[in-house]
Amino acid sequence: MYLPNPDEHPALPRTVFSAGAGAPLARAPLAGALTADAVIIGGGFVGVSAALHLAEAGRPVVLVEANEIGWGSAGRNAGHVSPDATKLGPRRLAEVYGPVYGPRLAAVGAGAPQFVTDLARRLGIDVAVVRGGILTAAHSAAAARRLEADIRFLDGSGAPVEFLPAAAVEALFGTRTYFGARLDRRGIAINPLAFVRGMARAAIARGALVHERSPMRRLVRTGDGWEVVTDGGSVRAGHVLLCTNAYTDDRCWPGLRRSIVPVRLYLGWTRPLPAALRAEILPGIAAMLDTRHLPVAMRLHGDGRLQFGAGRPGFGPEQEPAARAYLDQIKRIMPALAPAEIEGWWSGWVTRGIADGWRLHELAPGLVTAIGCNGRGVAMGPIMGRELARYVGGTPAADLIVPLSPVRGIPWYSFHQPLGRAAIGVFGLLDRLGTRN
């Protein structure tokens, strides 16, 4: 079975975000034996935010990252920041998380873009914020009705969300593909690699010790806590925060991996579009995606490069994705994009699970994890890292935004890859039902 961690290699792939993200941190690997209050495994959004918040609370904390800060999905995502906590949509949150946590999570999710901009401003990180909102376009008439129902659900909340009928979508960016769209003006787009690196630098400035190229090899229970062992050293601490999300393997905690399905996603980008064309693509909008199970997603960067979803999700080693076919699909949707040419692509892993939303687990006394993100990690990852830090700092579980829950293994886990491939095939077929393109 292929797992994300064989992707281990020394550097992040080049992406549209590399140039604007500043220099890598280049922290030395862990060496020798350290002690701390808490040790964090994984230097993505969750891990660096937990380190930042613990360091701000004056707690001695050590973070070990297998590769480099942001090497996981934090440095490989699309940078969309939606005002949602999960992909479940506002109506399903209460069903999945219950009457207490559902509304709490919905409120936190609604403020997610603001959380990102406030945190970046407070820490002095230039995350290249693009405002204008996120547009979710309906690929079928049924999807348009669902978007309208979601908007009605928010009636009275004051959220700046509107439904654009098909003609308005066509007028906005010249496509007749869509049956309407939801435009949520709260949504933003950022440079996620700049964000995760900036948070890590801020954590270090506040006293956190951060070690890269330090994969945890063993996690050992000691009399009064835990010992995390890497190739070059070890850290003893009362608390361990496991922040490895889709990159979790059995070294991290037996059985945890079997509660998520890691899925590889591909993104690509074009050469800079001709100047005259840029004004026609997503004018004034930070980013768009559509309602397909295998969604079309796009955002235009300031230098004229168009970023897009670039291939079918996968489960195995990285392969040359069908980026050209995806760009052709986008050109059918937006004929004005005919001159666009691919410049590059990259991939990263997300998790899918049964409920498909964030979960908090106390795996053993003093050992906690936040896991299960399904694509709302740019803002919610740092928020979940803050929640882990609050819990370790003594906040009662009942005051967190997600309940502590037992780990539930996915039934028939050994078959998740063939079943997942079959599901992707079915999703592709379903996506074609009722579409114009």
Ligand X SMILES: Cc1cc2nc3c(=O)[nH]c(=O)nc-3n(C[C@H](O)[C@H](O)[C@H](O)COP(=O)(O)OP(=O)(O)OC[C@H]3O[C@@H](n4cnc5c(N)ncnc54)[C@H](O)[C@@H]3O)c2cc1C
Residues within the interface to ligand X (CB under 6 A): 5, 41-47, 64-67, 71-74, 76-80, 215-216, 243-247, 251-252, 265, 267, 348-350, 373, 375-378, 381
Nearer to ligand X, 67 or 270 (CB): 67
Nearer to ligand X, 17 or 349 (CB): 349
Read off the tokens for 136: 């979710």
Nearest distance from C-beta of residue 201 to ligand X, angstroms: 16
Read off the tokens for 275: 């100047």
- Contacting residues for 185 by C-beta, under 8 A, at least 6 apart: 132, 133, 160, 161
Q: Are 141 and 434 within 8 A, CB to CB? A: yes
Nearer to ligand X, 143 or 263 (CB): 263
Nearest distance from C-beta of residue 200 to ligand X, angstroms: 11
Nearest distance from C-beta of residue 145 to ligand X, angstroms: 25
Nearest distance from C-beta of residue 72 to ligand X, angstroms: 3
Nearer to ligand X, 46 or 401 (CB): 46
- Contacting residues for 347 by C-beta, under 8 A, at least 6 apart: 13, 76, 264, 265, 266, 267, 311, 314, 318, 321
Residue 348, beta-bridge partner list: 265
Pairing of strands 306-309, 297-300: antiparallel
Nearer to ligand X, 265 or 333 (CB): 265
Q: Which long-range contacts (CB under 8 A, 24 or more apart) does 281-285 make?
A: 281/173, 281/306, 281/334, 281/336, 281/337, 282/135, 282/173, 283/172, 283/173, 284/132, 285/132, 285/133, 285/134, 285/135, 285/172, 285/183
Nearest distance from C-beta of residue 275 to ligand X, angstroms: 26
Nearest distance from C-beta of residue 43 to ligand X, angstroms: 5
Residue ranges with strand state E in 187-260 = 188-189, 209-211, 218-221, 226-229, 233-242
CA quadruple 295, 344, 380, 211: dihedral, nearest 10: 150
Read off the tokens for 208: 């956190």
Nearest distance from C-beta of residue 5 to ligand X, angstroms: 6
Nearer to ligand X, 80 or 305 (CB): 80
Nearer to ligand X, 138 or 265 (CB): 265
What is the gyration radius of the CA atoms in the chain, in angstroms?
21
d(CA 258, CA 250): 9
d(CA 78, CA 344): 14
Pairing of strands 209-211, 61-64: parallel
d(CA 267, CA 222): 43
DSSP 8-state code for residue 28: P
Nearest distance from C-beta of residue 197 to ligand X, angstroms: 12
Nearer to ligand X, 72 or 198 (CB): 72
Read off the tokens for 85: 């906590």
User: Closest residue to ligand X, Cβ-based?
Assistant: 377
Q: Interior CA angle at 204 toward 67 and 188, to 5°? A: 75
Nearest distance from C-beta of residue 297 to ligand X, angstroms: 7
Nearest distance from C-beta of residue 276 to ligand X, angstroms: 28
Nearer to ligand X, 133 or 377 (CB): 377
Nearer to ligand X, 26 or 338 (CB): 26
